Amino acid sequence: MDTTYGHAVGLAVPVFLSLITVELVVDRIRGTRYYHLADALNSLSCGIVSTGMRVFFGFLGLFTYEWVLAHWAPVRLPGGHWMTWIFAFVLYDFCYYWQHRFGHTVGLFWAAHVVHHQSEEFNLTTALRQPGTGAFTTWIFYVPLALCGVPLGVFLLVGVAQLFYQFWPHTRHIGRLGILDRWIQTPSNHRVHHAQNDIYLDRNYVGVFLIWDHWFGSFQEELDEEPPIYGIRGQLRSWNPVWANLHYYWAMAKDCWYAGRWRDKLRVWIAPPGWRPADVAARFPKESYDPVRDFSRYDPPRSLALSLYALVQLAVLIAANSHFLTLLPKQAAWLNVLYFGFILGGLMTLGGVLENRREFLLLEAARVAAAGIGVVGVGSWFGARDPRVILSIASFALASLAWLFLSAKRDPARTKAVEAAA
């Protein structure tokens, strides 16, 4: 269990959420409406899933890095020398380029990375929309740093620095930046990367230094005559963050199952995204898709009250996730799994609430009822035994049930029409 990663995320989350709030205020002042509630909440939900998966499975990459560093590195670079840090930062960026490029050109890696591209908006919440299954694969691309003798601590801090840098380019509120757009990752360059237009597809992979895209022929500048259309070509059309992480694996598994030739069964996993065996494509054809012609934003109708309910509940789950991260080194592993399982279940049911699906409204009611009954019955909330805390959680659960019941009774189509008229 990677408690170091959990601690780092716990420190970063308030900073990221503060910047998202600033961007949202700017968005409302300018009237640009680059934020849509369900899309933003789903991106934040995916970020929580990613955090949990890295907490539980991040040790795979750390263990491998330490082992390679101890047994295969011909030299150990001094962690206290400034040149080690510069070398590590540049090499990390180079490795990130290839990790990112393989994430777009190999089906198995795309199945993880696709989560980051599913948002049909482009704002700072998109930066937090990270894959959960990436914990199993992304570490492979950073083994060269261990082979070069970069100390583990330097590697981790350089990775955090890259993470922070890559947050700010996820915005539409910063335009072109002149010469900077030719040398480093900027919002303009990253808007290109997230677009599904033909001319922009699979371009601008870098984390920081644009030299890698120039060298390896993957650079494309943003064009005024070609506004980016965000999202993926096989639209997710779901607000369930778990399905967001699994849907492309499922699509590949089905193609693998139905493929007649063993060679095609293997190729499904390593071919570029979109490749399908000829016999499977003939048996289960997919409609042609042109983003300029066919794109429509996914946003099922729901009442304003239901939208606000989801917003409040996600805020509570974000707070619960922060609490979970602080408890990681303090409580038993099974309690950590139980706590994150509760958070994960909440994210899944809220996704269904945002889709206004009756079965998920019932599951959400069961979830909040179980939380209220459980905390009263046990007399604590994962170590918190203060009666005021117990009473607050139970009261919130009761209020949530009432809110959910009243919200679900409203007709979303009528509400939408009334709100539009207002």
pLDDT (0 to 100) of residue 421: 32
Label residue 410 by pLDDT band (50, 70, 90).
Answer: low
Cα separation, 16 vs 8, in Å, equals 12
Q: Is the pTM of this model over 0.85?
A: yes
Instruction: Name the domain boundary from 157, 183, 215.
Output: 215
Which residue type does 5 have?
Y
Same domain? For 41 and 149 the reply is: yes
**Taking phi first (over 0 means left), then psi (-120 to 50 degrees means alpha), and beta for anything else, what does residue 274 get?**
left
Same domain? For 328 and 182 the reply is: no
Cα separation, 96 vs 213, in Å, equals 12
**Taking phi first (over 0 means left), then psi (-120 to 50 degrees means alpha), and beta for anything else, what does residue 267 get?**
alpha
Helix (H, G, I), strand (E, B) or coil at 55: helix
In order, the DSSP letters of 77-126 are: --TTSHHHHHHHHHHHHHHHHHHHHHHHHSHHHHHHHHHHH--SS-SHHH
315 in Cβ contact with 45 (< 8 Å):
no
Instruction: Name the domain boundary from 198, 215, 232.
Output: 215
Q: Give residue 70's Cα distance to chain centre.
A: 32
Domain of 380 in residue numbering reads as 304-421
Instruction: Name the domain boundary from 183, 215, 247.
Output: 215
How many domains, in total, are found in the chain?
2
Asked if the structure places residue 268 within a domain, the reply is no
Whole-number average pLDDT of the chain: 94
Average pLDDT of 60-87?
97
Same domain? For 207 and 311 the reply is: no
Q: Is the dihedral of CA 121, 127, 133, 136 positive or negative?
A: positive
**Is the pLDDT reported for residue 338 higher than 80?**
yes
Average pLDDT of 197-216?
98
pLDDT (0 to 100) of residue 422: 32
Same domain? For 204 and 344 the reply is: no
Helix (H, G, I), strand (E, B) or coil at 230: strand
**Is the pLDDT reported for residue 153 higher than 50?**
yes
pLDDT (0 to 100) of residue 383: 84
Label residue 420 by pLDDT band (50, 70, 90).
Answer: very low
Q: Is the dihedral of CA 220, 226, 230, 231 positive or negative?
A: negative
Asked if the structure places residue 239 within a domain, the reply is no
Asked if the structure places residue 279 within a domain, the reply is no
Average pLDDT of 136-159?
97
Asked if the structure places residue 278 within a domain, the reply is no
217-254 per-position pLDDT tens digit = 999 999 999 999 999 998 999 999 999 999 999 999 99
Cα separation, 109 vs 138, in Å, equals 8
Same domain? For 75 and 181 the reply is: yes
pLDDT (0 to 100) of residue 7: 64
With a CB cutoff of 8 Å and minimum separation 6, the contacts of 217 are: none
Share of the chain above pLDDT 70, in %: 95
**Is the pLDDT reported for residue 119 higher than 90?**
yes
125 in Cβ contact with 167 (< 8 Å):
no
**Is the pLDDT reported for residue 128 higher than 70?**
yes
Label residue 185 by pLDDT band (50, 70, 90).
Answer: very high
Label residue 409 by pLDDT band (50, 70, 90).
Answer: confident
Asked if the structure places residue 109 within a domain, the reply is yes
**Is the pLDDT reported for residue 6 higher than 80?**
no
Cα separation, 365 vs 67, in Å, equals 47
Residue in the block written with tokens 């609490």: 323
Asked if the structure places residue 65 within a domain, the reply is yes
Residue 162: what are its φ and ψ, rounded to 5°? Answer: -65, -40
337 in Cβ contact with 63 (< 8 Å):
no
Average pLDDT of 386-403?
95
Cα separation, 39 vs 125, in Å, equals 9
**Is the pLDDT reported for residue 391 higher than 80?**
yes
Pick the more confident residue, 415 or 154.
154
Asked if the structure places residue 227 within a domain, the reply is no
Q: Is the dihedral of CA 302, 44, 231, 284 positive or negative?
A: negative
Asked if the structure places residue 272 within a domain, the reply is no
